Structure 1
Amino acid sequence: MNLAKHYHKLYTDAVAKISAGRYETDHLIDSDTDQRFGITLVIRPDAATKDKIQQFLAEAKAIEPDQYYYQNADIHITLMSIISCYEGFDLKDIHVEDYIQLIQQVLARHKCFKIQFKGLTASPSCILIQGFLTDTLNEIRDDLRAGFKNSDLQQSIDKRYTIQTAHATVIRFRSELKHKDTLLNLIEKYRDFDFGTFEVKQVELVYNDWYQRERFVKKLQVFKLES
């Protein structure tokens, strides 16, 4: 996949919809009754990169204060959604140690790698940081797909879509955009902004809600990658 082209198409399609008022708001984001949970392998950007992201978010928040903005603790890249969030999933439904062992076997074959966060893209419901990855990340994903396919463990890898990017969602629309043109101008300003390049030295397996909010996330295991 040509990531730059992919992100560009997402961006142009989404901006056209947002400009026309055909954006989507998420009414579950403030719900106390949302019971969608799953388990995910995630990557966390480093502090310097997250600080640059917050610089952009502070400017966006000044324009549209009522939208949902990701805190540093919640910003992540999905390496692989092992069990996609669904209503009623509970850790008691699985034997976590089996998942840890399988993932450890896969990750032991791979070393640290880098991700560059450069520019923004969008969907009709959110704003995303564009992540550019090395071959290592997709090799890990392919190994995980093969490992889980050959196991009896509950999983839903690639059921929703085949993950090939390394983006991070940072804004979600949860109410009417009151200054959408001003927001779009800001997004255009950051369209090619370099948020930073960081080395991925570890991966987390987490039990999480749909939005990966810190208060709901339970860290199950941290896997260190060899240098």
Structure 2
Amino acid sequence: MNKLERKYNVMWETSQAHFAEQGVDIDPNIYSSCDNRKGITVIAKFSSDLGVEVCQSFEKLKRIEPKQYYYSENELHLTVLSLISCRESFDISQVNIDDYIATINKAIVDIKPFDINIKGITASSSCIMLQGFPVTDNLLNVRNNLRIHFEQSQLFNTIDERYKIDTAHVTIVRFQRKLKHNKEFLQLLEQFRKLDLGVLHVKELQLVYNDWYHKEDNTEILSTIKL
């Protein structure tokens, strides 16, 4: 068992204990018209085929708990690095986005396309996540290169301000209501722990202006950057 798998396992065990003792944590802002948090993120999008396959795999969950927030195939993404974490005080007009694009291009100039195996799920108290397992170190290298270049650029950023991302998880479900069928739902999640969902082929990155949830209607693609 590698370090990443151990981390996913700890996340799962911790969330299961939380679900058993306190239930799920509800996010009250998913459909709130008062939630104006926006940020800028470097992401890797799922292909349409992989996105459809993943979402179809979770239809059983949706039938048991239809009132939760399930990401659509067009919303599925891997967060490579959050450059500016979502906050109410931020608007894209406050920065020169061309400078950010130029810095990203410099950071990834030597990075080749890479694959991430999507296998099984883990969880937090408020969401269900797909487990991503990078085949090479290229995701790590992209993140480290971006950190270095943005630190040197002096462009405004909040990289690693909330936490230092070191996994390749992908959020698939967020809890917006208490579970009505808790036992059945959690039993089905257990069946998904080792589900092989396919491979995310990362051939390009997107720089996006997004809300907290990366909803399709609230996400603007600022640049698509080929690897």
Q: Same fold (TM over 0.5)?
A: yes
Write the distance in 2 (CA, Å) between the matches of 1:116 and 1:8: 16
After TM superposition, list the pairs within 5 Å mapping 1:2-81 onto structure 2.
Answer: 2-81=3-82
SS at match of 1:145: helix
- Paired AA for residue 189 in structure 1: Q
SS in structure 2 at match of 1:79: strand
Aligned with residue 145 of structure 1, among 147, 167, 173 = 147
> How does the TM-score come out when normalised to structure 2?
0.96
Q: Distance in 1 between matches of 2:21 and 2:53?
A: 29
SS of 2:43's equivalent in the other structure is strand
Q: In the alignment, what sits opposite 2:200?
A: 198
- Residues of 1 paired with 2:31 and 2:172: CA distance? 16
Percent identical pairs in the alignment equals: 40
User: Distance in 1 between the 2:190 and 2:56 partners?
Assistant: 15
Extract unaligned runs of 5+ from structure 1: none
- Whether 1:117 and 2:123 are equivalent positions in the alignment is no
Aligned position for 1:159: 161
The reply to whether residue 129 of structure 1 matches residue 130 of structure 2 is yes
Distance 1:213 1:48 in 2: 19
**Number of equivalent positions:** 225
- Greater Cα shift, 63-72 or 44-53: 44-53
**What is the CA distance between 1:29 and its match in structure 2?**
0.4
The whole-number CA distance in structure 2 between the counterparts of 1:222 and 1:186 is 37
Query: Which letter maps to 1:77?
Result: L
Instruction: Quote the Cα distance in structure 1 between the aligned partners of 2:196 and 2:33.
Output: 36
* TM-score, scaled to structure 1: 0.96
8 Å CA contact 1:40–1:207 kept in 2: the answer is: yes
Deviation of 1:199 after TM superposition, in Å, equals 1.6
Q: 1:109-137 CA deviation, whole Å, 9 max, x = no partner?
A: 11001001000000000000000112111
Q: Which residue in 2 is equivalent to 1:189? A: 191
Mapping for residues 203-222 of structure 1, pairs under 5 Å? 203-222=205-224
Contact 1:10 1:122 in 2 (8 A): yes
Aligned to 2:91: 90
Q: Distance in 2 between matches of 1:66 and 1:194?
A: 26
Letter in 1 for 2:176: R
Q: Secondary structure of 2:194's partner?
A: coil
